[in-house]
Amino acid sequence: MGIKMYKVMIFIDGTWLYRTLPRLAEQSGKGEFKIDYGVLPQVVARELAERLGVDPSGIDVVRNHIFASLPTNYDHLDEGLITRQNEFYKLLREDYHYDTELFNIDFRGRRVRQADRDPADSFQPREKCVDIALASKMLYQAAMPFGMDIAAAVLGDRDFTPVLQTVRQLGKRVLLVSVRSSCAQELADPEDRERVKDYDTLWMDDHIEELELRYEPQWLECQSPEHEGERRFQTTYRPRRGEPVYCDACRAAYAQRRVTSVVTSTYEDDDQIDYGPQAGLPVIGETLEGVVEFKKEDKGYGFVTTDDGMSFFFHLSDLEGLDFETLEEGREVVFEVKTLPVGGKAGAARDVRALEYEDEEEPLEG
Ligand SMILES: [Zn+2]
């Protein structure tokens, strides 16, 4: 007699999960919270095994689906933000083997974040297809003869009630994976009066520590041809598969070369210069301009975003000559890079000062 294997598929409402991240950030007591998508299937498998009373090796997570939307036709100022979103989904596909289904939302030339738009602008992005795509895929897999035994539904919107009910009517089981503060009551109901699930809900809130994406320092070898000395160095940066690795010194050298070449070349020549990998990133200690993007009044921190969409965390103690209480979102500032953004995680800023235009600064002479 063989051991019974449970085939599990994970279905993630990416839009909902993205909206939910700030809540998880609050609960974790951090400014930002990123999910480790490599760990999520492991947590699902282990928790399911516990609920089924079987060994975790009897749970086979055969596929992860994520459904989300991606802005198009947005303000060019959001280019950096969208590039990072695209890279994130690429990472999910290529490194974590998720099936990603992305749907475009037309932003009609506007900024992607509501906070960046004119408060008088009543525009609301119209999300298309995400719910229906998730529902269709789940039903399809539930109806397939050998598709799956259990659907792990990572979502929280009430709209999914009928699809979860139907999946169960088709003889498959449902594990609801959600976040307490972002889950519709009908789904969360421990008595399950709507008949949407077969097990106790897996609350991501209870696994925050484990689900958080962390960057453990690791040893890498610098691959720059111009590197001098010991090539091994320790870093928290996680290079994408196939991406060449450069140490801080070699990166700084590239960044310096870029600054020089931009000054000394025309834009046409510019395209042909090999800046090297990660050359678009600033270096630690570099002074950058940005705007205050978000401020958490009661916690005393906020984020600054640069023109190309990089985010930097700051604490009120990082402010120089600025008052945290009166500092308004949208305020233009200059700051020094304390740590770099890595893998979509914000960097940190220090010495955050008001941006003063040169003509204001010019001393009176004579
Ligand atoms: Zn190097």
Is 1 among the domain residues?
no
Same domain (yes/no): 206, 225: no
Q: Domain ends where: 245, 270, 295?
A: 270
Tokens of 10: 């994970």
CATH number of the domain encompassing residue 353:
2.40.50.140
If we measure between CA atoms, which residue out of 263, 162, 160 comes closest to residue 177?
160
State whether 194 and 226 are in the same domain. Answer: no
Domain range for 263: 220-270
Judgement on whether residues 128 and 253 belong to the same structural domain of the protein: no
Residue 227 Cα to ligand 1 midpoint, Å, equals 4
pLDDT digit string (tens) for the chain, length 366 residues: 456 799 999 999 998 998 898 888 888 887 778 888 889 999 999 999 999 999 988 999 999 999 999 898 888 888 888 887 888 888 888 888 899 999 988 888 899 888 889 888 888 888 778 999 999 999 999 999 888 999 999 999 999 999 999 999 999 999 999 999 999 999 999 999 999 999 999 999 999 988 988 766 678 888 888 888 888 887 766 666 666 788 878 877 777 665 555 444 444 444 444 434 444 567 788 889 999 988 887 778 888 988 877 888 888 888 988 888 888 888 899 999 888 877 667 788 989 998 876 544 444 444
pLDDT of residue 263: 46
Verify that 122 and 253 share a domain, yes or no.
Answer: no
Give the model's pLDDT for residue 252: 77
127 and 105 Cβ atoms separated by less than 8 Å: yes
- Same domain for 139 and 196? yes
Distance in Å, CA 93 to ligand 1 centroid: 29
**Is 57 inside a domain boundary?**
yes
CA 280 / ligand 1 centre spacing (Å): 17
85 with 46, same domain? yes
pLDDT at 271: 41
Ligand 1 centroid to Cα of residue 239, in Å, is: 14
Task: Note whether residue 95 is domain-resident.
Answer: yes
CATH code of the domain containing 19: 3.40.50.1010
Domain for residue 294, yes or no?
A: yes
178, 203 Cβ separation under 8 angstroms: yes
For residue 13, give the nearest of 142, 115, 155, 174 by alpha carbon.
Answer: 155
Separation of 223 CA from ligand 1 center, angstroms?
7
Task: Find the 358 Cα to ligand 1 centroid distance in Å.
Answer: 36
How close is the Cα of 315 to the center of ligand 1, in Å?
Answer: 32
* Among the listed residues 309, 348, 339, the one whose alpha carbon sits nearest the alpha carbon of residue 83: 309
Work out how many domains the chain is built from and give that number.
3
Question: Same structural domain for residues 108 and 196?
Answer: yes
Domain-ending residue, one of 211, 238, 257:
211
* pLDDT for residue 241: 61
Asked whether residue 365 is assigned to any structural domain, the reply reads no
The whole-number pLDDT of residue 310 equals 81
- Do 25 and 78 belong to one domain? yes
Q: Are strands 311-315 and 301-305 parallel, antiparallel or unpaired?
A: antiparallel
Q: Are residues 183 and 230 in the same domain?
A: no
Same domain, 187 and 227: no
